[in-house]
Structure 1
Amino acid sequence: MPETIEQPRPLVLGSTSRYRRELLARLGLPFEVTAPATDETPLPGEAPRALALRLALAKARAVAAQHPGAVVIGSDQVADLDGQPLGKPGNHERATAQLRRMSGKTVIFQTALAVVCQATGFEQVDLAAVCVRFRALSDAEIERYLQAEQPYDCAGSAKSEGLGIALLDAIDSDDPTALIGLPLIRTCRMLRAAGLVLP
């Protein structure tokens, strides 16, 4: 029977994203999920990088206020096309427009991560920027892809972990899960710094 390690504090994921929940589960740590009540509206003139960092920290702080003894993870991803933020499309028409805009271009997916523990005063924020080069896409390719995968809840309208990989020429990242929504290398580093024990 494997040895069980007592974690010093509960772990809470401050996110409604099923993708982040699935990624965090890979670490084998018990955790709860709490939806952060955070307004995600960009501030006037706010750069995508700054928006992602601000929202990740705001989400972690909002959930930490509800769970002051826990270690809380907040994360946010903003697709950055020529300095303009692209959010989750929400529907077919907006997803089509996003993919047309990204066709043949490099998009930087700014994936921000924050870990907060109110009880100890711990707070760290980091960013994993992922450069994604899209192929030149025809309208027919875009339509076939959207009908097949319906990625309307993903920033940038494409799931690299699914059929969306066929839309791409290259991905450049130092944290492989960042593009899916939670950079696990950075997450592990920050959870260790917050006092949790990982394998």
Structure 2
Amino acid sequence: MKNLILASASPRRRELLGVFGIDFEVRPADIDESVLDGETPADYTLRLAVEKARAVAGDCPGGFVLGSDTTVALDGECLGKPVDAAQARDMLLRLSGTRHDVLSAVALVHPDGEVDSRLSTTIVDFAPLPAAWVDAYVDSGEPMDKAGAYGIQGAAGIWVRRLEGSYTGVVGLPQFETGELLRAAGLC
């Protein structure tokens, strides 16, 4: 049996990976998630997925390690996880009435150190958000651990008029791309 490790503490990623019906263990990665100067949202998201997987692979020789990262990008700017309620409110008001990108990358580090990765890009069309909705959502605490300060699978899902791409990518683990990596490695 091949060992698979998910390099993430996200319960959403754990649930999405569980759909594949393969055993895995969870070992969160601890890396610096700062955006580098001049880094595009796509490059940033792919780099973090790879770095998370490599960080955990260094402590778990002989296994396959899956890393993932999700970024909300507005006009080429990465909107990460808010540091406080004021930043969450600001992010949501900036996203109000926009079409923005949600990029989700997955990277699989093989036991021999080989890395394979994929990127999913989804366009999300948000309705205009009344300030009262934003305030109530921020007060709920839900946006605090989510890129762009929202989770489509939660209360913010009612704001999405349309999406073009991968729903599971917006949630945090694009299942199509993840399946490609797992099948190519013989894991499912």
Q: Does 1:144 align with 2:136?
A: yes
Give the letter for the 2:79 counterpart.
L
Equivalent position to 2:15, from 5, 12, 22: 22
Aligned length: 188
Give the letter for the 2:58 counterpart.
A
Structure 2: distance between partners of 1:33 and 1:150: 22
Asked if structure 2 preserves the Cα contact closer than 8 Å seen for 1:116 and 1:122, the reply is yes
Give the letter for the 1:136 counterpart.
P
Structure 1: distance between partners of 2:139 and 2:114: 44
Show the counterpart of 1:4: none
Show the counterpart of 1:57: 50
Asked if structure 2 preserves the Cα contact closer than 8 Å seen for 1:65 and 1:118, the reply is no
Structure 1 runs (4+) deviating above 2 angstroms are: 144-150
Structure 1: distance between partners of 2:28 and 2:155: 28
**Backbone CA RMSD of aligned residues:** 1.4
Structure 2: distance between partners of 1:142 and 1:33: 33
Gaps of 5+ in 1: 1-6
Q: Does 1:158 align with 2:133?
A: no
Task: After TM superposition, give the deviation of residue 31 of structure 1 in Å.
Answer: 0.8
Give the letter for the 1:63 counterpart.
V
SS of 2:144's partner is coil
Gaps of 5+ in 2: none
Structure 1: distance between partners of 2:152 and 2:127: 13
The structure where helix makes up a greater share of residues is: 2
Asked if structure 1 preserves the Cα contact closer than 8 Å seen for 2:31 and 2:51, the reply is yes
TM-score w.r.t. length of structure 1: 0.89
Asked if structure 1 preserves the Cα contact closer than 8 Å seen for 2:137 and 2:143, the reply is no
Structure 2: distance between partners of 1:76 and 1:59: 8
Could you report, residue by residue, the CA deviation over 1:7-42 in whole angstroms, capped at 9, with x for unpaired residues?
3x1000011222111211222211111121311111
Q: Does 1:109 align with 2:102?
A: yes
Asked if structure 1 preserves the Cα contact closer than 8 Å seen for 2:107 and 2:115, the reply is yes
Could you report, residue by residue, the CA deviation over 1:18-71 in whole angstroms, capped at 9, with x for unpaired residues?
211121122221111112131111111211111001110111111111112111
Asked if structure 2 preserves the Cα contact closer than 8 Å seen for 1:122 and 1:194, the reply is no
Asked if structure 2 preserves the Cα contact closer than 8 Å seen for 1:108 and 1:131, the reply is yes
SS of 2:167's partner is coil
The structure with the largest alpha-carbon Rg is 1
Equivalent position to 2:71, from 54, 78, 81: 78
